[in-house]
Amino acid sequence: MNTLETYQTFYFVGIGGIGMSALARYFNASGKKVLGYDKTNTKLTRELMKEGIDIVFEDLIDDKITSLQQDKTLVIYTPAIKTLGILDYFHQNDFKVLKRAKVLGLITENTECIAVAGTHGKTTTSTLVSHLCKEADMPFSCFLGGISENFRSNFLYNGSQYSVVEADEYDRSFLNLSPDWAVITSTDADHLDIYGDKSHIEEGFRQFASLVPENQHLFVRKGIEIGRDHRTYAVNEKADFYSDNLRMDYDKIYFDFHTPTETIKDFVWEIPGIHNVENATVAIAILHSLGIDFETLKKGIACFKGIKRRYTKHIYKNGKIYIDDYAHHPTEINAVMGSIKTFYPDKKLLVAFQPHLFSRTRDFADGFAESLSKSDELILLDIYPARELQENFEGITSDWLLKKINLDKKEVSTLADAFGKIKEKEFDILLTVGAGNIDTLYDPVCQWLNEDNQ
């Protein structure tokens, strides 16, 4: 196969995905010609087009495709797309066609790669590691699974010595990477449509851990068995690296950080939740191990703004609070709602949740029911199918899930009707949560709450 450098054009099939768009931005920043297809025109695809990337939204073989030279064009696709005429054309005409994960793996081969894996926490942790690298002015590029509030992007180029990547376990994609440093934040059951059961997920993470060449470069949350030597991290319990003495002052959290040989007091940051202090702990540990001083790390932690759709919070003049989050697994929802209840124990919480995938809804129905029952009122949206067909999951619906939820005030809604229902409710805090297209509620809700406060 040609090396990546020999290709002049890169065509992305499914360019609007968060991981695909980061790669597209990388090649665009490298001076290559980048174009692609996506089913839906979104805020992200519009941003890519503003950056000079040509995108189409119809599955048509046009002149731009037929004019591409087979030996100078690399086609990159996401496994979320199963059938597409454009993809068939590239296969039939002998273009080189690779999965996104394979291409990202090729990029990491030529850098000192810092890979962050885990069923929960990897986006926040990889984004924070990238932010700290930027604050330390390290020569790095990053490929993230979310939009950094500091960068306003899921990609940043500041050099090529290091790469920071979010290591995705879906479809075992992370096994394509070449990590020199790695984090494993969690190995909870998820993606059972791929792995079958929790034991196979855990085996997948053990395979990922085996890719890291040095024990001192592998950081694993304490309590996770990974099958090889590594460095541990934790919060409120001793580990190789740990944080404790957590104090809350309004919306800020203070904590002390411990290495095997020293204690650094009074880190300050504004991202709520003990789980996020865990993410900060391992990010500090890695950057410290890379030689970055604690003064720089303290400043970096203090100015970290978080990630879009990871506990994105707005407080309005009338006291109402709006929080938007990407959580789509019971463990993640528990973490978000736990943070809300910690900071605002007496406020009425309205939750609008969109389940993501029929298989995930089926596999974790009892967990979803338990976590969602902690709200005061619930609007449960229809299940977002993504790559799945409802006909293969008979009986798995939001109405079915709603019956399991122990709550007096609860109802099912379409996405189209959800905004109108929200406007009719009484609440102190609104939480919109889910990984599908529930994010389309964000702008209308913000606009409505802003107008309501004028």
| Six token digits for residue 178 | 């070449």
| Six token digits for residue 40 | 């839906």
Identify whether the C-beta of residue 140 lies closer than 8 Å to the C-beta of residue 162.
yes
The CATH class of the 4-99 domain is alpha beta
Q: What residue ranges of the chain are covered by domains with CATH 3.90.190.20?
A: 312-452
Q: What is the pLDDT of residues 87-123, one digit of tens each?
A: 999 999 999 999 998 999 999 998 999 999 998 888 9
The yes or no reply on domain 111-302 and CATH 3.20.20.120 is no
Mean pLDDT of the chain: 91
Average pLDDT (15-40) is 93
Lowest mean pLDDT among 30-34, 239-243, 333-337, 431-435: 333-337
Q: How confident is the model at residue 329 (pLDDT cuts 50, 70, 90)?
A: confident
To the question of pTM greater than 0.75 for the whole model, the response is: yes
One-letter amino acid of 312: T
Q: What is the pLDDT of residue 447?
A: 93
Q: What is the pLDDT of residues 113-166, one digit of tens each?
A: 999 999 888 899 999 999 999 999 999 999 998 889 999 999 999 998 999 999
Q: What is the pLDDT of residue 172?
A: 82
Torsion angle of the four alpha carbons 369, 192, 18, 308, in this order, in degrees rounded to the nearest 10: 30
Q: What is the pLDDT of residue 367?
A: 94
CA-to-CA distance for 199 and 328, rounded, in angstroms? 21
- The strand order across the sheet containing 349-354 reads 312-315, 321-325, 429-434, 349-354, 377-381, 410-413
| Six token digits for residue 324 | 């938007």
> Which of 72-81, 171-180, 254-263, 325-334 ranks highest by mean pLDDT?
254-263
CA-to-CA distance for 142 and 160, rounded, in angstroms? 10
Q: What is the pLDDT of residue 169?
A: 83
Say if residue 332's pLDDT is above 70. Answer: yes
Q: How confident is the model at residue 287 (pLDDT cuts 50, 70, 90)?
A: very high
Q: What residue ranges of the chain are covered by domains with CATH 3.40.1190.10?
A: 111-302
Say if residue 381's pLDDT is above 60. Answer: yes
Neighbours of 395 (CB within 10 A): 8
Q: What is the pLDDT of residue 342?
A: 80
Average pLDDT (417-430) is 96
Lowest mean pLDDT among 170-174, 300-304, 330-334, 414-418: 170-174
Count of H helices and E strands in the chain?
Answer: 16, 21
> Which has the closest alpha carbon to 354: 396, 444, 414?
414
Say if residue 272's pLDDT is above 80. Answer: no
Identify whether the C-beta of residue 338 lies closer than 8 Å to the C-beta of residue 365.
no
Q: What residue ranges of the chain are covered by domains with CATH 3.40.50.720?
A: 4-99
The CATH class of the 312-452 domain is alpha beta
Average pLDDT (288-314) is 91
Q: DSSP state, 307?
A: B
Q: What is the pLDDT of residues 436-447, one digit of tens each?
A: 889 899 999 999
Say if residue 209's pLDDT is above 60. Answer: yes
